[in-house]
Structures are given as C-alpha cells and as structure tokens.
Structure 1
Amino acid sequence: MSAPSSSRRRFVRNAAGTTAFFLLGGQEFPIPALAAAPAPAAPPEFFSAEEFRFLQAACDCIYPDDSFGPGASALGVPSFIDRQMQTPYGRGELWYMSGPFQNGPANLGYQLPLAPQALYRQGIESANHYARTERGKDFASLPPEIRTELLTAFEGGAVHFAAFNARLFFEQLRRNTLEGVFADPIHGGNLHMQGWMLLGFPGARADFMDWVNQEGQAYPFEPVSIDPQKA
C-alpha cells in the first residue's frame, strides 16, 4: 500500500468509472462544501470505542482526504462497516463456514473459520498489539505516515498475527472501506454521495433511455440515492 496521494485517488476515479464514467462523458459533479468537513460519526453499535478509533484511523489511511475529496471517515465509512457487522454478512450467515479449514492458494479465496465480525475483532486487537510492540503506541495514536507503514507491512504478508496472517485482515479492511466509499448512502457510507461524484456516477436513477446513444454528451443531473433522505 503506497502512501496516501492524489495520484492514488485519481487512479480510483479513472479505473472505477468504467461504464458509468463513459455514460457521463467524464463529467465531474462539484462536491458540496458542507460535506468537506468530517461527518459526526454515530456511536458504534458493534465495535467498542477503541476498535472504532482504530477503524477510523485505518480507513483514512486506505482512503485519505486529498484535493479530490474527503477521506473515509468524512464519508461515514467506519459507520458503514459497523452497520455491516450487524447483518447476516457480518455474522457469516451468507458464507459456507464448515471445515476443513486449511491454508490454500489465493485463488481458493477466504479459508478461515472466522466470520467478518470475528476477523475484525481479532484483527484490530492484533494490529494494536503489533503497533504497541513495534512502535510503542496503539495504531490510532501513531502519526499517519507510521500507520501507513504498518498497513503496508500487513498488506505485504510478512506480519503474522496470533490466529492468521495480517494480510487477510488488511484485505478485508480495504475491501469494506472501498465498499463504504462507493455503496449507496442508504447503507451508511458515501455521505452526500461524494464517492459517486468523484466517479461521475448517476446513482439509482430509474432509467437513462433519453441518454442512450448520445456518445460524448455529458449527463446533466447529479446522482440520487435509493433513499434520498439517507444521502
């Protein structure tokens, strides 16, 4: 994981746009000034205060604030992940969770006997323990550049937590962070649809028939959420 930079945000915008970005002719919607300030986070329901503090710090390293827009915490991503942990997904009810459990090649996917709830709980505890051991402080108490350094070590697979390789935890965290940035605001992230505005994505509009076969014509409307009151 490279250090936070505008080039990384630019890559996300250009790579993730695909069909939606083509439809919009590359148009970018202005991000509301009122949304540039960090959003007040709702009290977590699944995570403890200490775990949530880790989540805010780590998510902001993965998706930082820069000239293209606000970072993960300001977009409500930690609250998005907290809400996800209280769903069938978070409890592992949508996964095949019976054995055998063993190490396997990456193309076989997730192989741990841990639902996302348990993976986060154990992963955060282990990440904080590693940070205290290596740097003398909990993860969230370290400077941003040191946090990024630790996450880079987790991503590289050289760090082993007590129950699993740190890379598995990092991949879960990165995946859920990006989901929180770009999911419909009805799920708790993507505050004010700023993730969609970065891509020029129109959101949950009913149809686009008036704009079919209008190559190069900019789509003139801002995105909409499934539930506009949640945006």
Structure 2
Amino acid sequence: MNRRQALFSLSSLVATLSVAPKLGAKEIHGFPLDVKLDPESVPVPARVGGYSVLTDITARKNLVAIFDRLIPADSLGPSAIDEGALEFLDSQLAGDYGSGAALYLEGPLRPENEEKLMGSPQFITSPRERYLTGLKALELWAQANHKDSLHTLNAVQIDAFLTDMEAGKIDLGPEVNSQAFFELMLQNVRESYLSDPLYGGNKTMAGWKMIGFPGARYDYRQYVERRGENLKLIPVSLIPDN
C-alpha cells in the first residue's frame, strides 16, 4: 500500500459517497438557524499569516521536505504542503493539542512497569516540545551525516531517511525516539490532509474529494439509505460563507 492508497483506505470510515464537480443531489433546506452553540465548542480557525511555533526557517523547510514525501503531489491531487499542512500543524501546536492539554504528562508512578503495562514508553513531553526537540535533532543529524540540511537532499535520499526513521534505525540522540517522532509526523500530516479547511489544512478539500466525503453538512438523513449511489455532493467546509 503506497502513501496515497493509505488515504483511500480511510474511505471505509465514511459513507460510500463520491464527489463530482457539479452538484447533483437535492439539498436539505429549512434547518433551524437560531441554534446557539457554546462558545467553547465553536471551532477556532487556523491563524492566517505567520507562524506561532514553527518559527525556525530551516526547521520549516525540513518539515516541508518530509511532508511532501509522505503525501506527495500526483495525478490524484496536490501535496500535503500545497494543501496547507504546515499552517495546520503550526495552528495545532500553538493550541491545546500542542500543549498536551488532554494528555497526562506527569510520568508513571512505577517506571519499571510502564512499558509492560502500556506496550510502549509514555511520552511526558507535549507534542509542541516533541516537535521543537525533534526538528533540532533532525537538523543536527543531517548536518552530521550529509553536511547540509535535510531539505537539500533529493527525494530518494529523503525517502531512505524516512524509511529508516520509521524502522527506528535513525539515531537522533537520547532525547528523541526517532520511530515515535516519525509516527507523530505521519499522523499529523494525515490529519492535515483530511481536516476541515477551517483548521488550515485540506485547503481545496482535495483529501475529502479523494475519499468521497461530502464535508460538514447539517443533515445526512435523506442520504442514509442511498448506499453505493453517486450523489454528486460537493464538499462543504465549516468556513462561513460571509
């Protein structure tokens, strides 16, 4: 399974709807407009312009090189970076996800039992810290092994690096688990490609179009029984029209 086929496999998680460039199915109208949302539940859009966390230019260039190898541009759609993966990640790292607000970061009560019980060591640093530390380690590794930054390498070299990183064969120093850092980057770039455009990634909804997801529509009830049918629904984002 190649990288882009991995995105296709996620289509099994959504209804079997396909997207065409023109709207063909009738839309539902008359839904209530006066429904009030809790302000804390309202999604926060990605920051437009500038970076809050990924402020180091070299680190950003290295991430661009990595993300565009994990989800490259091809006949099926644009690359992760073209779809806003960097903006998505920076926005997430600047918020609760980056600070690890939903994570327990106090460390295990009995470290000797940690891996036995959890299956793998617990990370007691936030995603933001893991990225900042990991990106510095990536640059040091590239300088030591190639006398230049990672982003200057060609596609074959970067692919080889990522393959070894995924297998845990890259030594990024005692502070970075290279295999876990690879998995974190892969998870986040996938999230960016399938997120609502409101969050900075999937800007043209290429990821949604690829798997046939019609987006953040108010109601799907009239389509539930129409399995396997091409409804020709154009994806809808959470971004308001006005």
TM-score normalised to structure 1 length: 0.83
Query: What CA distance in whole angstroms lies between the structure 2 residues aligned with 1:69 and 1:189?
Result: 14
Partner of 2:39: none
Partner of 2:34: none
Partner of 2:98: 90
Query: What CA distance in whole angstroms lies between the structure 2 residues aligned with 1:212 and 1:93?
Result: 36
2:132 matches 1:121: yes
Which of 179, 185, 204 aligns to 1:173? It is 185
Q: Give the deviation of 1:94 after TM superposition.
A: 1.6
Partner of 1:63: 71
The one-letter amino acid of 2:64's match is Q
For 1:90, what is the secondary structure of its paired residue? Answer: helix
For 2:159, what is the secondary structure of its paired residue? Answer: helix
Q: Give the deviation of 1:19 after TM superposition.
A: 4.2
Query: What CA distance in whole angstroms lies between the structure 2 residues aligned with 1:49 and 1:147?
Result: 18
Contact between 1:202 and 1:224, CA under 8 Å: does it hold in 2? yes
Identity %: 28
Query: What CA distance in whole angstroms lies between the structure 2 residues aligned with 1:178 and 1:225?
Result: 18
Query: What CA distance in whole angstroms lies between the structure 2 residues aligned with 1:107 and 1:62?
Result: 28
Q: Give the deviation of 1:213 after TM superposition.
A: 1.4
**Higher RCO (C-alpha 8 Å, min separation 6):** 2
TM-score normalised to structure 2 length: 0.80
Contact between 2:198 and 2:237, CA under 8 Å: does it hold in 1? yes
Distance of aligned partners of 1:108 and 1:50 in 2 relative to their CA distance in 1, 3 Å threshold: same
Distance of aligned partners of 1:19 and 1:168 in 2 relative to their CA distance in 1, 3 Å threshold: closer
The one-letter amino acid of 1:226's match is L
TM superposition outliers: structure 1 runs of 4+ over 6 Å: none
Task: Please report the RMSD computed on the Cα atoms of aligned residues, expressed in angstroms.
Answer: 2.3
Distance of aligned partners of 1:130 and 1:91 in 2 relative to their CA distance in 1, 3 Å threshold: same
Partner of 2:36: none
Contact between 2:133 and 2:176, CA under 8 Å: does it hold in 1? no
Paired residues, number: 211
Query: What CA distance in whole angstroms lies between the structure 2 residues aligned with 1:107 and 1:68?
Result: 38
Structure 1: runs of 5 or more not aligned: 31-40
Query: What CA distance in whole angstroms lies between the structure 2 residues aligned with 1:88 and 1:110?
Result: 22
Distance of aligned partners of 1:109 and 1:79 in 2 relative to their CA distance in 1, 3 Å threshold: farther
Partner of 2:35: none
Q: Give the deviation of 1:12 after TM superposition.
A: 2.1
Partner of 1:137: 148
For 2:208, what is the secondary structure of its paired residue? Answer: helix
Structure index of larger Rg? 2
Query: What CA distance in whole angstroms lies between the structure 2 residues aligned with 1:10 and 1:94?
Result: 31
The one-letter amino acid of 1:146's match is Q
Query: What CA distance in whole angstroms lies between the structure 1 residues aligned with 2:69 and 2:128?
Result: 21
Deviations for 1:72-107, whole angstroms, at most 9, x for unmatched residues? Answer: 110000110011111111012221000236772695
Distance of aligned partners of 1:158 and 1:77 in 2 relative to their CA distance in 1, 3 Å threshold: same
Query: What CA distance in whole angstroms lies between the structure 1 residues aligned with 2:208 and 2:13?
Result: 13
Partner of 2:11: 17
Distance of aligned partners of 1:211 and 1:110 in 2 relative to their CA distance in 1, 3 Å threshold: farther
Distance of aligned partners of 1:120 and 1:67 in 2 relative to their CA distance in 1, 3 Å threshold: same
